[in-house]
Amino acid sequence: MSGSIPVTILSGSLGAGKTTLVNQLLSTAGDRDLAVLVNDMGEVNVDADLVAEGSELDLDDGVTELSNGCICCELQDDLETAVVRLAQDRSFDHLIVESSGISEPAPVARLFTTESRVAALYDVDALVTVLDTRRFLDCFSGDSAPQRQGSDEDRPLSDLLVEQIEVSNIVLLNKADQCTESELAEAKSLVGALQPDAETIRTEFSAVDLDRLLGVDRFEETAVADLPGWKRALDAANGDHDHHDHHHHPDEVYNVSSFTYRRRHPFDPERFADVLQNLPPEIVRAKGTVWLAGCETRITMSQAGPSIRATAQGPWIASLPEVDRKMYRSNRPDLEWDDEHGDRRSELVFIGTEYDEEALRDALTEALATGESEQSVDDLFPTEAGEETVIRHY
């Protein structure tokens, strides 16, 4: 820490136990003065016993004084303005920012880590995610997946949970009393596969020792250890540039494993889309770059439970005019380049529990292009940079 105010970014889906955790932290703060910045006072619902006698919510700045010296604030301005004003107007030891139950914590973390007036005042201490463990397991059980509540996007809850876990330093397996030992072991294993360096803590009613969450200095912006499981598995495969499969097993507990599929050969768009639409429910996470026949656009694929989306990222460098191609290559000396195909290739990581790896590898290989596709790539995948297409959603 540099002497700036430490900040903990708290995330978790609606109903996971964030409200209870905030109240637990405030009630056990001891001699620490905490500031809690939240999106919606109605959502947080600070325990009435914590509100100082005679204190009222100041509707101008959204600040409630608490009996233990802490404060709780409703986020009415944009986040940057709110946290700067808070640091200038109030004295406190630690800031807790609760991201909305329907949003991802990564954009909040970026505000505190990029060069800005916020980063000059604060240091990120840790990113903490609260899971409703039973619901988390249900998202990847292969049954009908729970949907995100209150979101403008009709996306499965699994999308949100994966995004929150992959950037986390600490994950609370909350409502542990509603799960068996076997289910808790499975949940821990899944979290470990998605983010290998996250510490998991079992909790009931979000009860946890404050010292295990605050002042832990777990966040490292550029640390390799913070890579999510899919990125680490992909990096582990990058040492071999031939046409082979690479395996990485992040956690043998509960048979959670991953493998990386790499090819310098394009997929047939129709057959590849069919593979994605029929991914087995045992695959909980897949992500990577895709080369499609008849398409000079680099596509990224992201799967979380039942949700699969494809996004167009821009042209392959090998498809650019020679002058532009040379310029890009000179600016990227580490770019893996093939004499025949340039930077075109597919790299996909799959993480799951007790799936048939050989069958999935065979399906992917059978989906490679062998001739001209019967269906246009435009009908199945995005081709304009920034465009996104839902491949599977239920």
| Average pLDDT of span 12-35 | 86
| Average pLDDT of span 87-114 | 79
Q: Give the pLDDT band of residue 77 (cuts 50, 70, 90).
A: low
> How much is the pLDDT for 339?
93
> How much is the pLDDT for 72?
58
| 139 in Cβ contact with 145 (< 8 Å) | yes
Q: What is the CATH number of domain 229-392?
A: 3.30.1220.10
Domain layout of the chain by residue ranges: 5-226, 229-392
Q: Give the pLDDT band of residue 254 (cuts 50, 70, 90).
A: low
**What pLDDT, in 10s, does the model give residues 103-142?**
677 778 888 887 778 888 999 999 999 999 999 998 876 5
Q: For residue 232, give both structure tokens.
A: 């680490």
Q: Return the CATH fold of 5-226.
A: Rossmann fold (3.40.50)
Work out the angle at residue 353's Cα, subtended by the Cα atoms of residues 154 and 268, and round it to the nearest 5 degrees: 65
Residues 6 or more apart in contact with residue 11 via CB below 8 angstroms: 18, 98, 99, 103, 104, 105, 127, 128, 129, 130, 164, 168
Q: CA dist 80 to 114, 121, 164, Å?
A: 12, 11, 21
> How much is the pLDDT for 151?
43
> How much is the pLDDT for 111?
82
Q: Is the pLDDT of residue 44 over 60?
A: no
CA distance 85 to 195: 34
> How much is the pLDDT for 106?
77
| Average pLDDT of span 284-308 | 91
